[in-house]
């Protein structure tokens, strides 16, 4: 499993949940742009997908995961700050277990500035669940039911 595959699986899942416009932006010419945008009605949410493979459970610096303060981390934070809504879906796996960490862009920038770490399995509430990503999207953007 690689990041491209998990992104493709997530895109397929999201397209079963909404009639809205879902675009995959991740390629070589879109450096700094989050991977996915979801537009329903007059609302858009951006999502950056990360896959972290680990061999043993240990704390990992969030700034290393998201490339803070690089161009992509800056874009995610600015999109979230200026009201478009943007966040991270970070999947962790050791090949057997899966964990998911969801975070808004502005809050992620704050955590990176504080040099915070995350520990797979310990600091995450969910397993590999695309349904949890969808619930976060709905809660975050407050998409109107008729636009879905």
- Domain of 120, CATH number, reads 3.40.1350.10
| 102 has pLDDT over 90 | no
Residue 91 lies in a domain: yes
Q: How many whole angstroms separate alpha carbon 140 and alpha carbon 44?
A: 10
Residue 131 lies in a domain: yes
Residue 88 lies in a domain: yes
Please state whether beta strands 43-53 and 86-93 pair in parallel, antiparallel, or not at all (unpaired). Answer: parallel
Q: What single-letter DSSP state applies at residue 147?
A: G
- Range of 46's domain? 3-142
Question: What was the pLDDT predicted at 130?
Answer: 85
Question: What was the pLDDT predicted at 36?
Answer: 92
Rounded to two decimals, what is the model's pTM?
0.85
Who contacts 7 (Cβ-Cβ below 8 Å, separation ≥6)?
A: 24, 26, 35, 36, 49
Question: What was the pLDDT predicted at 125?
Answer: 54
């Amino acid at each position: 499993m690689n990041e491209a595959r998990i992104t493709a699986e997530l895109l397929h899942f999201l397209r079963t949940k909404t009639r809205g416009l879902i675009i995959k932006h991740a390629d070589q010419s879109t450096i700094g742009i989050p991977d996915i945008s979801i537009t329903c009605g007059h609302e858009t949410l951006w999502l950056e997908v990360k896959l972290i493979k680990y061999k043993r459970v240990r704390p990992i610096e969030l700034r290393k995961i998201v490339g803070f303060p690089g161009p992509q981390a800056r874009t995610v934070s600015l999109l979230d700050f200026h009201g478009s809504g943007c966040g991270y879906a970070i999947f962790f796996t050791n090949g057997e277990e899966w964990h998911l960490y969801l975070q808004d862009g502005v809050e992620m920038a704050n955590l990176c500035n504080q040099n915070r770490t995350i520990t797979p399995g310990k600091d995450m509430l969910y397993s590999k669940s695309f349904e949890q990503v969808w619930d976060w999207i709905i809660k975050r953007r407050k998409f109107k039911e008729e636009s879905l």
